[in-house]
Structure 1
């Protein structure tokens, strides 16, 4: 059987990097990021594939997935981990920050899911795991734009999961709570709960979902985990 192949979008830091680390010893892995230096560092460290890709640019996303499909022939799973933080009251947020959050969390999610599902449906199987946020399920003060943009992705995943009409192509979502990652550093300590999951712990659940086979009777579209540590 050919080696299984996985794409980790936003795979050079935080949860995405933790997912790539768990996969790379046994599977073919490619990390995508808009930071060229990080792609170079991670691919050298992990010995995996990688490419520079701004998820808000559809042409870049299309070419990144097309290149991997040509190289590997099949793509078994995609972890969509790229995310843009936008914290603060709406009236205090700079228009540039709002725009970028929409570009990454809304357009980026749309483009990644569009291209991922194109290839999975072409081959007839595969899994997509989109990373949301607990903010979608539990509003918190000071994050209206972040929550709104992540809520878009959650709604998109639910609709796309229904549209597959097959258990062979699974579209799933994981909603972590605040984690000690680089994004969390930008957020500030006031948003880090006293009880929280580590990126490695959440990554193990993401990988479990990525490795589900077409014969696994998993309910595609479910919010499979609220990984905020409060189990």
Structure 2
């Protein structure tokens, strides 16, 4: 299936790689993020490399009307979306009481409200046409509570359960749904964390590997995928332990976040 793919958070990292690999499959692309300059550079790259139509749509997904604004702009440009990639997201890290409440509100708007709104806006058209796909980028953090990443991990638990429920609901109706749940990836997500990422001791994957794994899983209508063999245990074994035990074990690992030096930009991190 080709057609047009819309990718949020397309200015860098996993989102930019989704745009590249989908364009490589012959999809026209709509690139959504806040950074017009980064989107225009990527759009030019994709037009030249793959000969596809690449549209730029600048939108802050933390705004309450973000999904309706995007839907309106798509209609104004005569664009029909066949593949929706809800990739945009960011995380907050640190002691819950020390994180600004409005920053966490924005986190939930971007990680939860915007993906649901865009899915509501675009899935009815996919169903009417009899084909389409929705890819939601979550995290292994969504498989268990993650102290000091409290709101972030909760938002990614929502992404996982929302995606799987919708995958089940839409089976047999022509629209595939996939949750992609990577572990740490080499993207700008950790840049503002200073030494925090090193303190956690994460082994990182690359956007290329994550997106390749995601598109293979989407082709097979897998429902969800955990890219990287090293993340399998975290995703599939830990959640089967008693929930309070998992939360306490998680605290032993993630407490290093608050022990590490804090950069001026903390406690917010962007994927």
TM-score w.r.t. length of structure 2? 0.72
- Deviations for 1:45-98, whole angstroms, at most 9, x for unmatched residues? 323212112234464423434544675664321111010211112111111211
**Aligned residue number for residue 223 of structure 1:** 224
Q: Deviations over 1:1-23 (max 9, x none)?
A: x9522111111111000111122
| Kept in 1: contact 2:183–2:231 (CA 8 A) | no
Change (3 A) 1:73 1:20: closer
Find the counterpart in structure 2 of residue 75 from structure 1. Answer: 81
Would you say the 8 A contact 1:74–1:123 is kept in 2?
no
Deviation at 1:136, TM superposition (A): 0.8
Q: Cα distance, 1:155 vs. partner? A: 2.1
Query: Pairwise CA RMSD of aligned residues?
Result: 2.6
Provide the rounded CA distance (Å) in 1 between the counterparts of 2:148 and 2:229. Answer: 19
The range that moved more, 101-110 or 151-160, is: 151-160
Normalising to structure 1: TM-score of the pair? 0.83
Number of the residue aligned with 1:7: 6
Q: What is the distance in 2 between the residues matched to 1:207 and 1:185?
A: 26
Q: Do the aligned partners of 2:180 and 2:227 also contact (CA within 8 Å) in 1?
A: yes
Structure 2 spans left out of the alignment, 5+ residues: 48-53, 233-271
Q: Does the 8 Å CA contact 1:78/1:128 hold for their aligned counterparts?
A: yes
Aligned to 1:130, the other structure's residue is in SS state strand
Give the unaligned 5+ runs of structure 1: none
Q: Contact (CA 8 Å) 1:196, 1:229: kept in 2 or not? A: no
| Structure with larger Rg | 2
